[in-house]
Amino acid sequence: MTQMERVETVRPRNFGVSYDWDELVQEDRVHHLLYTDAAIFDAEMRHIFGGTWVYLAHESQIPNVDDYVTAKLGLRPLIMTRDSDGIIRALYNRCTHRGTTLCRFEKGNKRSFQCPYHGWNFLNNGKLRGVPWAEGYGENLTRDPKFNLAQVPRVESYRGFIFGTLNASAPPIGEHLGPIRKPIDEWLDRNPGGKVVVCEANRIKYKGNWKLAYDNSGDGYHVLYSHRSLLETENRFVDENTEKGMSYYRTAPDEQPMYMQYMGNGHHFKDKRPNLQPRNGGLWAIESLHPGMEHVEQKLRRQFGDRADALLDLAGSEPVNINVFPNLSLLGNHIQVFQPVSFEETDTIWYGTRIEDVDGTIGEDALNDINTLRMRTQEGFPNFGEVDDVTNFEQIQRGLRCQEDEWIYMNRGLGIPGRIHTLEDGTIKAPATDEMFMREYIKEWKRLMKAEPHLTIQREP
């Protein structure tokens, strides 16, 4: 972005109601208003989904010049474009004339967007290109930057993940991600060329606050109970196929080598990889049963011999939860996005990923088999696991209507000597079922809610 561009500071027009954040967010518990109060939700759309970096889209969704995909920054509708100069932009999907959304399709390839209401036409870099019957205006509107589309002023990518923020003083995205970059790097680098390509999604809505999903994203305590039907299903042929899926939660999960790690700035990481046998094929060995897995395994073993184990692992669900505050979770092979709709409604989008044969050592036929199987493994959890979680999220939202019973606890592990360790880099490690990550991320949430963010939008000059 050049200095020529026009930056507008957004002045708050509504000072709302004030809260005693230190009373609502305590060391071991939070108040139900964090989940049930519409005014707090509105404030979150400015302080969180405006004031810090938010995941918007993946570069593989707009690989070519003039590609676009629609997205959201909090509730703000966006058009993510790769403009005609190849620059990735997050345009407000809002005509500068009367406020109409310009683009109603999810994705496509367009050099310009014409408003369906009065025909104003904008280039995919946001500049107003022309208006019908321009002589009806006393000036040439295309020369006045205030009629160019607003756009998110800070848009930066980290290895294909595109983030945006309205906060002019936010640090660069790499610095903001900090230590969570390492698990992101490892998640990418297990794939050929360190790349994944987004390919459609499982999409689930629930009637509950968005933070219920983020609370859950690192929660090792719920697995055995919320996912009991999944664990029983994955292990229904237990005589032949023991220890599938997340069975390692069944016995003393806090004594397993897996762990939880808080990474700063609200990000956290659940690493279950240490539970696997440390060898190629260790991941494949615990993969649940999926359509076509025996067929593909037989073919790959015949063709690739010892190398087949490593290739089969590419179809297996990587046992990590990499949670990037406030709305991104990399888990298995999914790119999951939490999309707030209202204080009591949330969309969760589980984008699938496939791999590419970057160095040509897999071959078209085997690549097709691996990716096909990778689609089937990714469909497993949303179908047999997530549906039970979101049901429990909805029932939390309902339980919180008992408004006199005010508190929600996150005190598991708090104050127990020797359980939680702060490492040299400032990250914090705890056993797998610990609620330490909830206590830590909500401190970051509180810090953002207390701060008055310096929000800006930008227009082309």
Interacting residue ranges for other proteins, rule: CB under 8 A:
106, 199-207, 226, 228-230, 232-233, 236-237, 289-296, 298-299, 339, 347-352, 354, 365, 368-369, 371-372, 375-376, 378-379, 383-384, 387-388, 390-392, 394
Inter-residue contact 102 to 79 (CB < 8 Å): yes
In angstroms, what is the minimal distance from the CB of 245 to other proteins? 12
Enumerate residues 6+ apart whose C-beta is below 8 A from 70.
77, 78, 79, 80, 93, 103, 105, 106, 107
In angstroms, what is the minimal distance from the CB of 294 to other proteins? 5
In angstroms, what is the minimal distance from the CB of 292 to other proteins? 3
Q: Which is nearer to other proteins, 166 or 296 (CB)?
A: 296
In angstroms, what is the minimal distance from the CB of 341 to other proteins? 9
Strands (E), 74-117: 76-82, 88-92, 107-109, 112-114
Place of tokens 């830590």: 440
Residue 186 CB neighbour total at 10 angstroms = 15
- Distance in angstroms (rounded) separating the CA atoms of residues 155 and 232: 44
Inter-residue contact 70 to 106 (CB < 8 Å): yes
Q: Which is nearer to other proteins, 269 or 393 (CB)?
A: 393
Q: Which is nearer to other proteins, 298 or 342 (CB)?
A: 298
In angstroms, what is the minimal distance from the CB of 198 to other proteins? 10
Long-range contacts: 387-392, Cβ < 8 Å, 24+? 387/204, 388/226, 388/227, 388/229, 388/230, 389/216, 389/222, 389/226, 389/227, 390/204, 390/206, 390/208, 390/348, 391/206, 392/222, 392/226
Residue 414 CB neighbour total at 10 angstroms = 17
Which tokens hold the place of 151? Answer: 């756009």
Q: Which is nearer to other proteins, 233 or 256 (CB)?
A: 233
Which tokens hold the place of 246? Answer: 């997340």
Q: Which is nearer to other proteins, 172 or 399 (CB)?
A: 399
In angstroms, what is the minimal distance from the CB of 210 to other proteins? 13
In angstroms, what is the minimal distance from the CB of 395 to other proteins? 8
Q: Is 454 left (phi over 0), alpha (psi -120 to 50) or beta?
A: beta
In angstroms, what is the minimal distance from the CB of 337 to other proteins? 11
Q: Which is nearer to other proteins, 10 or 198 (CB)?
A: 198
In angstroms, what is the minimal distance from the CB of 95 to other proteins? 24
Q: Which is nearer to other proteins, 145 or 292 (CB)?
A: 292
Paired residues of 268 in beta bridges: 262, 323
Q: Which is nearer to other proteins, 226 or 261 (CB)?
A: 226
Which tokens hold the place of 443? Answer: 């401190």
Q: Which is nearer to other proteins, 39 or 224 (CB)?
A: 224
Distance between the two ends of the chain, CA-based, in angstroms?
11
Residue 260 φ/ψ, nearest 5 degrees: -115, 140
